[in-house]
Amino acid sequence: MSEADKPEEPAAPAAKPGGKVKPPPLSRSKRQELRRKFLRTVLLTGGVLGAGLSGFLPMLYARRQRLRPPGALDEKDFLASCIKCGQCVQVCPVEAIKLADLVDGFGVGVPYIDARDQACDFSCDAVQCVLACPTGSLTYKKPEFFQVRAGAALATKPILLAKEKDPEPTINLTERMGVARLTRPELCLAIKGKGFKGQARGADFKGMMRYMAVDRWKPIPVSEHPYDVAECDLCVRECPIKGAISIETVYAPDGSQRKSPVVHEPCVGCGVCEMICPTEAASIEIVPREVWRT
Amino acid sequence: MSNTILRKRFLEQILVMFGREPKKPGAVSEPAKQIHLLKRTSNKEKLQAAAAHAEAHMSTSHKWRNRRWAVLLAANLLFVVSFYFDIQILEGALTASRFIGFHLIDLNSALQVMLAHKHIITNLLIGTGTVLVLWILFGGRTFCSWVCPYHLLAEWAEKIHLWLVKKKLVIDQPVDRRLRTVFWVVFALLALATGYTVYEAISPTGIVSRALIYGPGLALLWVLALLVFEVFFVRRAWCRYACPIGLTYGVVGIFSPVRIKYTLDGCFHEGNCRKVCLVPHVLDTVIKGRAVHTEVPIGPDCTRCGLCVDVCPTGSLTYDVKGLSKLL
């Protein structure tokens, strides 16, 4: 029933002087209408709360670890503090940051990086996303009362190779986003001793990167920058952080030796190695939130 | 005398916002009493003729609605355009943004984050303060009808709902208005207890705003479900009975000088205004005999949308800025 324009609604029970307040009996239809209204209210309550609490489901099972932008608080604090505005998305020059969808439960609208599609290559030079964050979800320095997980803290401020010769060569980052791991060594071209020629990820790949030799300020598509290397070292070649990864000679248990990419402590987990890795699937990947283990 | 009566009504309107049903007024000022008496004792036919005359000659303009839609679309498009062309005028989404560098943070989103995170940084505080001042100046729930993109979608869904009602295909099934207050408290407690901004995950305002700016996602299905529910079952269900953002801005509206003013004198009590109103309980004063004074400001739950101003044949409902008319 729509809220019709009743000129006078039935008067509320008035207290008779000296007597008890006796509510006038409600008609049967009125009582039924009230009951229906009550049931609808309960239904709407259940529906809205159910929808709200369904956000817990992805939290409880099938929980996917997301790579968060640089400077993110620990996952629980990150989800609590993120206001889901996407200002970090807007400042990123390579559009590495995306906002999660409904399947992330309470993480809907929260930023993440899909490093294989588009890694954070620090072409902004200054972790701009941290600067853009209005709530401190992304932060240069955690307030004291937040714990720093052992191995999450970087030993020193990472040196950005692109501005190594600048007076201030570091980027303002105290904790790593994750750590690169050689997850599929059996695919790695360096381990096989193979070279690589062509576009790292094929002609259709949309990912962008800043190549210092091409343009200091403008990232270009990876597909426009083909490679020709005798021994594949793309992950080392394009890693933006000084001393984070190198090709080393490693010894297998049987005594045989081979070349292999080796990740070092300065690795911040930006994902450039994962993006640039020419094997399908990537031989090297970022493990989000991973800490440095010695 | 009239001041105390108006103050009492104002306080009652705050309770009405939280879900109480509007009641007949206890006391009515002398001048208002006379007008009520005059209307009761005047020749009925003459009054009806005058009402019909006013209605026949009323302008059927949608002045305020058009202005409001223009502002709403402009505000939301500015977000889209800012990002799309990277012109950095209004960055972010409705939950939090920067307008040429100044932080703006939605009050309810800020509240959710503060309760869930339990740590407040300066930028969050600045943005929240700026928005608080902004909506105190412009009227609290003005946010709902002049900015919220879900409000516009719901307005169109409401048109379909009313058309279906007219065709007798559906009936509006109202829900208890106290539910909105309950939801407000529940979502605040959930944020505090779980450490997740539970409301933000289902807020259609945030979802639609982000979908406009960053592209659509599955979350729009929830918004679609809400709209379907509103078309076929409960008229304007989300805005009326659920949205905690509306209640938050309603509370801000208590302190705002911008409101709709009702003038008793020329009103014929046709009730057109109550038919178009999103929150008809704030317009109880236009019911015959209910106005406590000759001029009554509409309560804080009013979204200042101006639909009633457009539809009033006698100009009895107007926008008003408290204190400004005295100054001028």
- What pLDDT is attached to residue B180? 95
- What pLDDT is attached to residue A200? 94
Tell me the one-letter amino acid at A9: E
Residue A90 to residue B200, Cβ atoms within 8 A: no
Structural domain including B8 reads: 2-58+257-327
- What pLDDT is attached to residue A7? 46
Residue B264 φ/ψ region, left for φ over 0, alpha for ψ in the -120 to 50 degree band, beta for the rest: alpha
Which ipTM value was assigned to this complex?
A: 0.89
Q: Domains in chain B: how many in total?
A: 2
Residue A80 to residue B187, Cβ atoms within 8 A: no
Minimum distance, in Å, between the CA of residue A85 and any CA atom of chain B: 5
Same domain, B10 and B126: no
- What pLDDT is attached to residue B147? 96
**Complete DSSP assignment for B5-54:** HHHHHHHHHHHHHHTPPP---S---HHHHHHHHHHHHS-HHHHHHHHHHH
Minimum distance, in Å, between the CA of residue B166 and any CA atom of chain A: 11
- What pLDDT is attached to residue A210? 94
Residues 267-306 of B with CB under 8 A from A: 269-271, 274-275, 280, 287-289
Question: Cα A243–A246–A252 angle (5° rounding)?
Answer: 135
Q: How many residue pairs bridge chain A and chain B with CB atoms within 8 Å of each other?
A: 181
Give B-chain residues touching A97 at CB under 8 angstroms: none
- What pLDDT is attached to residue A11? 46
Nearest CB partner across the interface for B176, out of A37, A47, A132: A37
Minimum distance, in Å, between the CA of residue A59 and any CA atom of chain B: 11
Q: pTM of the entire structure?
A: 0.89
Q: Does B33 touch chain A (CB under 8 A)?
A: no
Same domain, B160 and B274: no
Distance between CA atoms of residues B84 and A190, nearest Å: 41
With 0-12 / 13-18 / 19 or more C-beta atoms within 10 angstroms meaning exposed / middle / buried, residue B184 is buried
Nearest CB partner across the interface for A109, out of B172, B210, B269: B210
Same domain, B155 and B75: yes
Same domain, B150 and B194: yes
Same domain, B13 and B85: no
Kindly give the parts of chain A with pLDDT less than 70. Answer: 1-21, 60-64
Distances in whole angstroms, Cα of residue B233 to Cα of each of A269, B187, B244:
50, 24, 21
- What pLDDT is attached to residue A19? 55
- What pLDDT is attached to residue B1? 66
Tell me the one-letter amino acid at A51: A
- What pLDDT is attached to residue A2? 43
Residue B92 to residue A85, Cβ atoms within 8 A: yes
- What pLDDT is attached to residue A276? 97
Distance between CA atoms of residues B264 and B298, nearest Å: 12
Q: What's phi and psi for A260, nearest 5 deg?
A: -160, 145
Q: Last residue of some domain: B219, B251, B283?
A: B251
Minimum distance, in Å, between the CA of residue B91 and any CA atom of chain A: 6
pLDDT tens per residue across all 328 residues of chain B: 688 999 999 999 999 999 999 999 888 999 999 999 988 888 778 778 877 877 777 777 899 999 999 999 999 999 999 999 988 899 999 999 999 989 999 999 999 999 999 988 999 999 999 999 999 999 999 999 999 999 999 999 999 999 999 999 998 888 999 999 999 999 999 999 999 999 999 999 999 999 999 999 999 999 999 999 999 999 999 999 999 999 999 999 999 999 999 999 989 898 899 999 999 999 999 999 999 999 999 999 999 999 999 999 889 999 999 888 776 6
Same domain, B31 and B136: no
Same domain, B209 and B137: yes
Q: Last residue of some domain: B229, B251, B273?
A: B251
Same domain, B86 and B200: yes
- What pLDDT is attached to residue B49? 80
Same domain, B306 and B290: yes
Give B-chain residues touching A6 at CB under 8 angstroms: 287
Residue B183 to residue A48, Cβ atoms within 8 A: yes
Same domain, B171 and B40: no
Same domain, B189 and B77: yes
Minimum distance, in Å, between the CA of residue B230 and any CA atom of chain A: 11
Measured between CA atoms, the residue of chain A closest to residue B23 is A12
- What pLDDT is attached to residue A61? 65
- What pLDDT is attached to residue B73? 97
The structure tokens 């937040």 sit at: A146
Q: Does B184 touch chain A (CB under 8 A)?
A: no
Give A-chain residues touching B227 at CB under 8 angstroms: none
- What pLDDT is attached to residue A129? 95
- What pLDDT is attached to residue A132? 94
Give A-chain residues touching B101 at CB under 8 angstroms: none
- What pLDDT is attached to residue B39? 86
Q: Last residue of some domain: B251, B275, B291?
A: B251
